[in-house]
Chains A and B, each alone.
Chain A
Amino acid sequence: MSLPFTRRSFLRGMLSGSAVCIGLPTLDWFLNDNGTAFADGTKLPVRFGTYFWGLGLTDTPTGGTRWVPSKTGRGYEVMPELEPLAAVKEKVSVFSGFRVIGDGRPNLVHWSGHAAILSGIAPAASGRFDAPSLDTRVADAIGTGTRFKVLDIDASMSRLPVSYSTRTGYTFSTPETTPLALYTRLFGAGFQDPNSDNWQPDPSIRLRQSVLSAVKDQRQALMAGVSKADQTKLDQYFTSVREMENQLAIQLQKPDKCESCVPPAAPKELPRSASVDAVRANTKALAKLLAMGLACNQTRVFNFVHTAGTSETYIAGQSKIYHQITHDEPTDAKLGYQPETSKLAGLVMQAFGDFLMELDAIKEGAGTLLDHSLIFAFSDTGYAKIHAIENIPMFLAGGAGGRHKAGQHIHVTGESVTRVSLTAQQLVGAPVGEFGSGSMKTARPISEVVA
């Protein structure tokens, strides 16, 4: 018996035939018979990552925009602060005009913006989220087949490690902050070269599994009689134990060959400094390792922090930090913007350009690693001088394995940032039909960028 329409025709009709976009999970039905590629022939796997930088980009109330292109759709013009992305422009979509809607909650400076983008709710208090960050949902959907379900990286050289990835809203991930630490995690003990011809399962892995069984055996006794809040904490603990078990189980399987995987040599430690140059160098070195970690199939989901919300980076020799400059520097009446702040924003975008270029440098099949990835990049503010949570700059970079119609500028004034968050999750196949709460709840992805 045959269906009245084929799988291919259904996909064609749904994904590109009309403007209607349906928030559906990547069902097996979308895949070809052996699950290695989408039905339209696009290769798996698709990787997903968030990329965060602090202090927004320059778009002043007096009209001095340095990043919002005037043209929408394809062929948008390269604005001054986006200059460093010019080389990969066709792989980057720019989103402008979106905002955080607090529903009466205060604008918690350098916090509400990215918290809302990631969790879908403007949080009640600084330092925590009121819902899990979206990367955890994506990781649950596409990250369980690799050694690391999700990898957190912080290049910012801040005093305290910066991570915005959370399942409980209180506990945030521990990021890798130096190239050597990231190298050790990815390619140190426990790494199995997927292209090695004499692979043998490591017998010590089974022994480590038995360590975890003893812990898990006691779960019920421990959970008895604890409060709801404590139950949440312990649930997160046991989720972490399960992820470790999964990691060990994966290491017992012979890894699939990865053409592009060339394990790197151990990097040198960089000097610890928060100057703009040092943080950019750290970003580039970490991006290079991360890209190879993705190519070697060690993880499919990551979170990358370039600078913190209140970025403490500085230009060497200058006494003020970037964050201070955004507030203190007067707007140049002639230019209509703050020249020093805009220069610093341009440097931040250079680091983002470096980051994307590292992913684009790795060839995979007919394209590059970037073509098989989706990077959701965003900041905490729009115009940092006034802590605006309107017009927060957001980007989707990479082809998402052919699903992202990249290279567009989407401008919608006043709509919720969560529409872009939802789009990002759906583009990589997370089973998320709607996202966000209150006025930011949405079931409408940006259909223009969905192939």
Chain B
Amino acid sequence: LLRKKSRWLSRWVSFAFLCAFAIAATPRARTFEPVTGENQAIKVGVRRITESQYRHTIVDIFGPQIKINARFEPERREDGLLAIGNAQLSLTASGFEQYFALASSIADQVLSEKQRAVSVGCKPANLNDADDSCARQLIESYGERLFRRPLTESEILARLKTAAIGAKQSGDFYAGLKLALTSLLVAPEFLFRVETAEPNPTNPKQYRLDGYTKAARLSFLLWDTAPDRELLDAAKSGAIHTEAGLKQQINRMVTSPRFEDGVRAFFTDMLQFDGLENLVKDPMIYPKFSQSISDSAKEQTLRTIIALLVRDKRDYRDLFTANETFINRPLAAVYRIPFASSSEWAAYTFPQSSGRSGILTQIGFLSLFSHPGTSSPTKRGIKVLEIFMCQPTPDPPANVDFSRVQDSTKGTVRGRLLDHMQTVGCAGCHRLTDPPGLALEHFDGLGQLRTMENGSRIDVNGELNGVKCEGAQGLGKLLHDNPEVPTCLVRKVYAYGVGRKTEDQDERYIAEQTRMFAGSGYRLPDLMAQIALSPEFFKVVFPGGTRPRHSNPATKRAPLQKSGGKFK
């Protein structure tokens, strides 16, 4: 109870701070009243789209020939997922500058002389002047894809004005059109997912997500991109609100080749593989390391996941034990195995004698969770617990004396960590985090196999939450059989899809979904489809300040008010 209380208190305190600070930070901002009156849509979430969603959306809408050369604003991980942290993010001035330059470059490419016949379905009456009717066609059609809903008349008129000014000033219809397209591409309605709830027509006292918000949730979860025409049509017709219509869309999406994009995006986030993009290693210690190794390592693990879980529809838990994978030439050099294939990637199965066991023992995980010059059982152990078992490790205590920990040029890391485990204040966490990491110690900071460190034989006895194991293969088996592992995946897929962390009131749902996941033989596509189909996936959660008096009983965050018909 105390814990709960303090959690609420801290939430309240941070909320109060944020509010106070929102007002303080924007002295010139007007105060916006929430919509009042019944039967009005309200906005329940504003989430910045990720770099990968941006890239996929642009390719889907404008074609794969469009080059996207830009640096995106950093994303933010919270509770293990960027999808949760990003929901808090806005756009800074330097970030906006980047998006602006990128938008201009995309508009230039889409409306280049070569491309414009394909991109624009009409021809202007006069090449050197504005043409509202032709410009409107493009703005409406691309606008709907970018904003993930039809544009309002006022949104169209604003862009028509831009197109006309541009055409007249430069004497070129397409120059004006480029400006209009640029303005769609830098609009908050594109860069942020604005989620909207509307009164439910079958029960006007309840709210539901509107069709376009539902379509975007499905599409970003299953495809990592904006909805396609068919999905937008299902939103427009209302089919998405019916069980049959929703099922039909989900089936279509899960069986589409684009589903692989969705799965890749989810695992890139869950495995925290964004960190591989700028990984550095000391070249004196790991001369084989390069950016191409870390790019290849990321690709290796993602390919393994797609093949195992999507194409072969195997048990999710096999990720920790199956040694079927793919390698390319740079990786083969690090794994010290021959690479004879003439294609870029070749299927490869690690033999039992390699000591490897599933994705935990691939270079991606092993090198990411290490130091530039050494392995790190602590980092690896923390990440095994956090990523696969949803067990976060608290920050280390501030006032700790590490003096017992000695020279790294002697003995193995086990001896040095034992010092941590004996120091009061460290022991509590290190006893949990280090033992799984120690089981992976036959792989150095780059993921290369070794059996000795500083002349001493490495002992790979480990432990996972109190159960003993030996080496990576022992750890892989423990993870495979641990019931918390599938539950954690369910939790992460749901949190990723709805953009918020799970709370106490979600526990029954998570347990139910986990049972269904087990029933399906732990098949990932089934899990993602069943979550997308569940009413909880579209549950309306009212953020502070927008709460209507009548709201869904499921929404615990906003207690029901008994009377009144207005928004509070």
Task: State the A residues within 8 Å of B (CB).
Answer: 106-109, 121, 124-127, 130-132, 149-152, 157-161, 163, 165-175, 181, 203, 206-208, 210-215, 217-218, 221-237, 239-241, 243-244, 247, 272-275, 312, 314, 316-321, 324, 327-328, 330-331, 385-389
Contacts and interface: CB of A to CB of B under 8 A. Distances in A.
Contacts of A222: 188-189, 194
Given A232-B25, A312-B280, A319-B371, A386 B399 contact: yes
A342 B94 CA distance: 36
B60 interface: no
The 4 closest A-B pairs by CB, nearest first: A227-B543, A240-B96, A236-B90, A319-B373
Contact of A174 (B43, B73, B78): B73
Nearest to A240: B96
B92 A273 contact: no
Contacts of B42: 225
Contacts of A106: 398
B32 A237 contact: no
A400 to B, nearest CB: 24
Contacts of B48: 233
Best-buried of A158, A239, A317 by chain B (most CB within 10 Å): A239
Interface string B376-387: 000000000000
Interface stretch (B10-18, B121-129, B218-226, B430-438): B10-18
A224 B30 CA distance: 11
Contacts of B17: 121, 124, 130-131, 169
Contacts of B194: 222
A243 B183 contact: no
Contacts of B90: 168, 170-171, 232-234, 236-237, 240
B322 interface: no
Contacts of B25: 132, 167-168, 232, 235-236
A169 to B, nearest CB: 6
8 contacts: A109-B396, A152-B94, A160-B275, A203-B170, A210-B162, A218-B154, A221-B154, A319-B408
Contact of B92 (A167, A225, A272, A314): A167
A321 B76 contact: no
B81 interface: no
B101 to A, nearest CB: 8
B535 interface: no
Contact of A225 (B187, B188, B285, B546): B546
Given A168-B90, A226-B43, A319-B371, A108 B395 contact: yes
A146 B513 CA distance: 55
Contacts of B243: none
Nearest to B29: A235
B549 interface: no
A239 B396 contact: no
A283 to B, nearest CB: 16
A172 B90 CA distance: 9
B138 interface: no
Interface in B68-113: 71-74, 76, 78, 88-98, 100, 104
B426 to A, nearest CB: 10
Contacts of B396: 109
Interface stretch (B174-182, B203-211, B258-266, B490-498): B174-182
B278 A160 contact: yes
B154 A237 contact: no
Nearest to B407: A328
Given A127-B76, A127-B78, A244-B96, A320 B402 contact: no
Given A175-B94, A318-B282, 14 more contacts: A124-B17, A210-B162, A225-B546, A228-B545, A230-B45, A235-B25, A240-B96, A241-B96, A243-B96, A244-B93, A316-B282, A316-B283, A319-B374, A324-B408
A275 B97 CA distance: 31
Contact of B89 (A124, A131, A171): A171
B485 interface: no
Given A159-B275, A170-B76, A226-B546, A317 B92 contact: no
A157 B546 contact: no
B373 A107 contact: no
Interface in B9-48: 10, 13-14, 17-19, 21-22, 24-26, 29, 32, 34-35, 40-46, 48
Contacts of A321: 371-373
Nearest to B285: A319
Contact of A229 (B29, B277, B544): B544
B307 interface: no
Contacts of A150: 93
A5 to B, nearest CB: 33
Nearest to B164: A210
Nearest to B36: A225
B282 A275 contact: yes
B94 A174 contact: yes
Given A161-B74, A171-B89, A273-B280, A109 B395 contact: yes
B154 A207 contact: no
Nearest to B419: A328
Contact of B43 (A108, A212, A225): A225
A122 B189 CA distance: 34
B195 to A, nearest CB: 10
A171 B21 CA distance: 14
B166 A234 contact: no
B158 interface: yes
B345 interface: no
A172 B155 contact: no
A272 to B, nearest CB: 6
A126 B183 CA distance: 36
Nearest to B17: A130
A98 B32 CA distance: 41
Contacts of A226: 32, 34, 43, 46, 545-546
A218 B280 contact: no
B93 A132 contact: no
B162 A170 contact: no
A211 to B, nearest CB: 4
B46 A230 contact: yes
Contact of A272 (B96, B161, B188, B280): B280
B202 interface: no
Contacts of B192: 233-234, 237
Given A127-B78, A328-B402, A170 B89 contact: yes
A106 to B, nearest CB: 7
B94 A211 contact: no
B275 A385 contact: no
Nearest to B92: A173
A19 B406 CA distance: 51
Interface in B419-457: none
B279 interface: yes
A331 B78 CA distance: 36
Given A235-B25, A272-B280, A225 B165 contact: no
Best-buried of B165, B187, B372 by chain A (most CB within 10 Å): B372
Nearest to B40: A225
A320 B544 contact: no
B291 interface: yes
B275 to A, nearest CB: 5
B152 interface: yes
A232 B22 contact: yes
A95 to B, nearest CB: 22
Nearest to B157: A217
Contacts of A389: 398
B96 A330 contact: no
B284 interface: yes
B395 A174 contact: no
B40 A274 contact: no
B394 to A, nearest CB: 10
Contacts of B34: 225-227
B71 A174 contact: yes
A146 to B, nearest CB: 12
Nearest to A163: B74
Contacts of A385: 401-402
Nearest to B190: A215
Interface in B98-150: 98, 100, 104
